Amino acid sequence: MNWYPLTFQPIYKEKIWGGSKLNSLKKVHPFIPKLGESWEISDVGNDISIVDSGSFKGRSLKWLLENHGEEVMGKRIFEQFGTQFPLLIKYIDAAQDLSIQLHPDDAMARDKHNSSGKTEMWYVMDAVEGATLTLGFKENCKESAFAKAIHNNNLPALLNSQKVKEGDAFLIKPGFIHAIGSGIMLAEIQQSSDVTYRVYDYDRRDDKGKPRDLHIEQSIAAADYSKAENYKLAYNFQEQGVQELGRSDYFLADILQFEGQEPIDLHPRDSFTILMNVGDDCELEQDGMIYKFSNSQTYLIPSVLTNLSARCSGNGKLLVVHL
């Protein structure tokens, strides 16, 4: 079996808050108005990724895992997850503010949705001047105060607003209330789940003039009421080479910043590796083969591959994700 770095057909999601950046970066044709998300690697519900090049072109991620699970995932990961891919990988373009929301943990998600919970990580790829994220409560909050603020339609007054710039990164744990603000594009790494509790949406209406559904009771039950702390991930923006970026029980994410040729360490993790290009266009080289790697593109590197390197004549920045 001749394995190679795998790319998948993006699964595009039009959103009420979506913009135009992903259309340009992905060269989407025909143009999709309000394109909010590009699901790069997905095994969620009916949104199953399809390989878009090479000898596996047209095969689904599900087919790969059912027929070559250990080779793709690695023995350790395959024994843990079987034919369910454990991560959902996205790029998000917010032209307007997203709803204020939170996610359940594993126990609540299994009980109510037959799903995993959602821990996620954000890496800010672009942000207009003054752009902000909503991240947790300003101070410790009581459940009754949360419920009252929702009822009185002034929830944002309780919440922490964080100005952001390109390169900032954040870990979003279950129960942590959050929202992406307008003018921000980011890369998102998350558990394989699409369960979101929307708690506040600025009284917006959908394209049929109806308010979007809110999940008030679930949000009150799932929320983490502690003061927002330790959510921003620390690393050196200028340092070349690999640095650990984010660590959770569900994934590990490094950032590789480089210029020129740089080897990519794929082992000894016994895991697949996901590469997300959050910098300048570059190339991957594997056993003498060259693969173009554009900004906002994603590769899944099967566990069996070795001898991978990246080359960039400009400002190379890759998120390197594994389990």
| Residues with catalytic roles | 198
Identify the bridge partners of residue 317 per DSSP, sorted by sequence position: 257
Give phi and psi for 183, each to the nearest 5: 85, 15
Identify the bridge partners of residue 289 per DSSP, sorted by sequence position: 286
Cβ partners under 8 Å of residue 44, min gap 6: 88, 192, 193, 194
Alpha carbon separation from 257 to 113, 218, 235 (Å, rounded): 39, 40, 11
Rounded distance between C-alpha atoms, residue 279 and residue 296, angstroms? 8
Please state, as a whole number, how many other Cβ atoms lie within 10 Å of the Cβ of residue 244. Answer: 13
Identify the bridge partners of residue 179 per DSSP, sorted by sequence position: 134
Identify the bridge partners of residue 310 per DSSP, sorted by sequence position: 262, 284
Rounded distance between C-alpha atoms, residue 121 and residue 186, angstroms? 10
Peptide bond into 30 cis (omega under 30): yes
* Collapsed DSSP state (helix, strand, coil) of residue 58: coil
- Contact between 100 and 134 (Cβ < 8 Å): yes
